[in-house]
Amino acid sequence: MDSYQETGMEKKWDVLGFGAVAVDDLVYVDRYPMPDTKVKVLDQVRQGGGLVGTALVAASRLGARAAYAGILGDDDLSRYTLDEFTREGVDCSSVLFRPDARPIHALIIVDSTNGLRSILPSFVGVQWRRPDEIPAALIAACRVLLVDHHAVEGGLHAIRLAHQYGVQVVADVERETEPLGAELASAADHLIVSVGYAQTKTGITDPAEGVRVLHNGRACTAVTAGEQGSWYMEKTSSEVIHQPAYKVKVVDTNGCGDVFHGAYAAMLVRGEPVKRAMQVAAAAAALKATKPGGRAGCPTLAEAISCIDRAQNH
């Protein structure tokens, strides 16, 4: 029982997120364009995105009470973001509003032959919550805090508050803005990073060895590597465990890592062990890849469990 529960007050949210939310304009092409060439556009779709934004949607679809606590404005992109969150059951009652703020706006080119994508983000107007704008009561009201590498200063403050109230912290760090970025990654209870980050950070190409170097005794350190699966290490063990990727027909890899984080956080809330959280997160990320866009393929918990059962029975 954490200190907030000991006061007799009920947790308002399961997963509270600080960090990147985006509006993604996806352009599907039959092949990625080379310089000075024309490539036919097969389809165009607008969806919500962002590391924390998509993770919160994934957590909500898996049954967690999710909430976003960033900064938005009164523009079309902000309204679209709020509408998307509302439709997905993500609570936005703690969002701060400023007229000149807006979410990240990204153009994403998806190669339909292999599902790989190139992302062109714009951060014009994007604002991050400062430490003095993150009250202790906000953090104390959640069970799991989800942060990414974007809102580093505010994220670090939120992590310190989370540890005061016994709130678990899941971090998605794709790159570091030294020195605070490294401090944020180090402070997370559950650090899940891509193999690219692990290689850059450690200089080691082997994901398993990368986990060993990154692990600092936290609850879990994990390195994800797409179709190769993921590797993780728990606080209670010196063993690096490989979680295989679930085989699916890949349509679009956009958002897979974000869904992984959200599903993992949702399983922590349910009290699942790390091993089960990694299984469900891997299944959720795989199922997301079967549909276009960063969020459309986010599965329910039943769908993720069915994916795991099918793999275990074959």
For 179-195, what is the mean pLDDT?
A: 91
- The proportion of the chain whose per-residue pLDDT surpasses 90, expressed as a percent, equals 77
pLDDT score for 258 = 95
pLDDT, greater one: 208 or 1? 208
The distance from CA 82 to its chain's CA centroid, rounded to whole angstroms, is 18
pLDDT score for 297 = 87
- The Cα–Cα gap between 231 and 226 comes to 11
**In the structure, what pLDDT confidence band is assigned to residue 9 with cuts at 50, 70 and 90?**
low
pLDDT score for 259 = 96
Is 187:156 a contact under the CB 8 Å cutoff? Answer: yes
Enter the tokens of residue 250.
Answer: 């890949």
For 242-263, what is the mean pLDDT?
A: 92
pLDDT, greater one: 10 or 32? 32
pLDDT at residue 5 tops 60 = no
CA nearest 53: which of 227, 195, 257? 257
For 184-194, what is the mean pLDDT?
A: 95
Write out 155-187 in H/E/C secondary structure: HHHHHHHHHHCCCEEEEECCCCCCCHHHHHHHH
pLDDT score for 292 = 80
pLDDT at residue 116 tops 90 = no
Enter the tokens of residue 284.
Answer: 């959720």
Does the pTM surpass 0.75? The reply is yes
* Residues 6 or more apart in contact with residue 194 via CB below 8 angstroms: 174, 223, 224, 225, 257
pLDDT score for 8 = 46
Is 260:192 a contact under the CB 8 Å cutoff? Answer: yes
The separation between the first and the last C-alpha atoms of the chain, rounded to the nearest angstrom, is 39
pLDDT at residue 133 tops 90 = yes
pLDDT at residue 187 tops 90 = yes
Positive or negative, the CA dihedral 144, 97, 128, 297 is positive
C-alpha separations of 77 from 32, 65, 185 in Å: 27, 24, 29
Q: What amino acid occupies position 45?
A: V
pLDDT per position as a tens digit, 65-103: 999 999 999 999 999 999 999 999 999 999 999 999 999
Domains of the chain in sequence order: 11-309 (3.40.1190.20)
For 179-189, what is the mean pLDDT?
A: 88
DSSP string, 191-209: EEEEHHHHHHHH----HHH
pLDDT at residue 107 tops 60 = yes
pLDDT score for 244 = 95
pLDDT at residue 6 tops 60 = no
Q: Lowest-pLDDT range, 2-16, 20-34, 148-162, 211-225? A: 2-16
pLDDT at residue 1 tops 50 = no
**In the structure, what pLDDT confidence band is assigned to residue 144 with cuts at 50, 70 and 90?**
very high
